[in-house]
Structure 1
C-alpha cells in the first residue's frame, strides 16, 4: 500500500513507533527512523534504539535511514525534513510517536513535570507539523513532483478524555487533536491530509497503568496497531481528513470531535441573555438524558 513512498516515523526506536516503521517498510515504503532514545521520563539519550529499528527493516529486505534527534527542536525537525528530501527526493508521509511520561496528581505536579511532557508531546508535534507543512506547501505551489497526496498522522491518546495522575499528558494529547484538526483545515488546499491515531497498546509507557492491568502482548501488543497508520498514509485514505481513529486490540473506532449536544435558544430580538436563574429553571430540560457527572469517580 505504500510502494514508492518515503515515510518519516518519529519516536520509532521502540513500541508503537517501531512496529509502525516496520509495517510501513513491509508495505513498500522507504522509512526514515527518528528517535532520541530517551527513558520513559525523558531522561538520557541513546542512538541505538533507532539503529535497531532500521536494522530490523533492512534485515527484512526494506530500506531505512536513521535520523537521531529531538523533535522539540524546531531547527532539528527542519533538518529532518531537508535531509530526507536530499536523500530520497520527497516525503510522502509523517507520523510522530515521540513521547514521555511524568505522572503526578495535579495538586502535586511540579512545573518541570508539566513542562517536560507538554514540550515533548505538544511542542514536538507542532515542531514536526510546522517543518513538514512548510515543505509540502512550497513543493505543492511549485508543482514540484507532487504526484500524490501527502499524509500527516498525529498521535493522540484516549487519555485526552482525562485520567487521574496524568494532567500534563492528558492536556498534551487533547491539544494534539486541536492541532491536527486545524492543520487538516489549513493544509487540505495543498493536497495534504492530516489525521490522528488514538492507540491503546501494551508498551513500556503503559505497562504500569491501572487500565492495562491484566493486558498481555497477544491481545494488546503494539503489533496490533500499525494497520491504522499504514492505511492513513496510503492512497486508500485519500478522502480521509481531520479524522481520529482509535484502535485497541481488535477494536477499531472513529472518535467523535467536540460538538454541541442538546441546545436551548432564546429570541435575540427580545432578551437573548441567559441568566443564572433561567439556566436553573430549564436545567432539566437541557440535560434530560445527559450524564452531567461525567468525571465522577469510576466514570
Structure 2
C-alpha cells in the first residue's frame, strides 16, 4: 500500500521538472491525479498541451490514474476547472500542490511593467486560482479531520533576496504570507498549508547565467535532480503530517530544512513620543549588533567588493 492510497491531488506545473517528479511519486504512492501545465516557455509565453498529457499517459501506463489539463493556471477559470475535474473524475479532492511558475529576470532598474505583472500574475494569482475553489469545497465538507493539504512553492530567491529577481522574489515572498494566512484560516476545516523552497536543476534554473547554474556536473545533476524534492512533498500530502502547518520547508539535494518563522529579535521603547536623537541612539545601540549591513545571504558573493 502507498502512503497516498485513496487520495486525490491537483498538481500545477506538472508537465516538467519538479511538478513532473511530484506527480510520478504521488502516483507511485497511490494518488489519483489532475495534472495541469500550460506547456509554456520559461518566461510564460506560448503553450503546449503535450507535457502534462505525456506525464498523465506515463502514469496511466504504469497502472495509475491521471487526467491532464493545459489551461493557464493564472486564469481563475482554470483553477475552478481543476477542482471540478478532481471531484467529477474521482469524487473528492484532498491535496493541492501549486508548482507552476515562470521567470522574467531583470535588475529592478531594467524591469518592464509587463515583466513585473506577468510574474506576479502566474505565481500569486496562480496559487489563488486553485486554492479558492479547493478551500470552498473543503469548507463544505465540514470535516475537521479531513487531512486536506495545500502545498505551495516559494523560493530561496525570496528568503535570501536574489538581486536580479525582484518580481520573482516579491511573488515568492507573497506566497509565504499567503501560506501562513491559509494555515490559520483553514485549520478548522481540516486543512494544513505549507510552502516548499526547492533547490533543483530545472528548465527555469537553466535560464540563470552559466556560472550560477545548478547541476553543472554529472554528480551535481543527480544531487540536484527534481526527483529529490518529491519525497518531502509526498510526506506533506499524506495523512500523517497534520502536525505541520504554516511553515516553510527547504528541500535541495539530499537535505530538507525547516525555515524559521519571522520573529522579533530586538525592541527599543520610549516613555512617550519619540525624540529623534534618543531613537537614533537606541536603535544604533540595540539593533546594530544584530543588523549591521545586509543580512546573510547566498547572494552576497555577487556583490562588488
Report the TM-score, using the length of structure 1 for normalisation.
0.92
Partner of 2:289: 289
- 1:249 and 1:274 map into 2 onto residues whose CA distance is 49
How far does the alpha carbon of each residue in 1:246-289 deviate from its partner, in whole angstroms, 9 at most, with x for none?
A: 0111121111122211112333xxx1x33331122123431253
Indicate which of 27, 32, 35 corresponds to 1:33.
35
Alignment of 1:50-199 (within 5 A): 50-140=52-142, 148-161=146-159, 162-199=161-198
Residue 129 of structure 1 deviates from its aligned partner by 1.3
Deviation, 1:31, is 1.3
Structure 2 residues not aligned, in runs of 5+? none
2:228 aligned partner = 224
Residue 60 of structure 1: how far off its partner (Å): 2.3
- Alignment-derived partner of residue 205 in structure 2: 206
CA offset at residue 295 of structure 1? 5.6
Q: Is 1:280 the counterpart of 2:284 in the alignment?
A: no
15-24 vs 129-138, which moves further: 129-138
1:68 Cα deviation from its structure 2 partner: 2.1
1:227 and 1:233 map into 2 onto residues whose CA distance is 10
Say how many residue pairs are matched. Answer: 291
Which ranges of structure 1 fall in alignment gaps of 5 or more residues? none
Structure 1 counterpart of 2:245, from 241, 262, 265: 241
Alpha-carbon RMSD across the aligned residues, in angstroms, is: 1.7
Higher alpha-carbon deviation: 228-237 or 201-210: 201-210
Q: Deviations over 1:116-174 (max 9, x none)?
A: 1000001111111112111111222xx6xx86310000110111131121110000000
Hey, what's the Cα distance between the residues in 1 that align with 2:41 and 2:201?
16
Relative to structure 1, the CA distance from residue 147 to residue 67 in structure 2 (aligned partners, 3 Å threshold; closer, same or farther) is: farther
The alpha carbon displacement at 1:61 in A equals 2.1
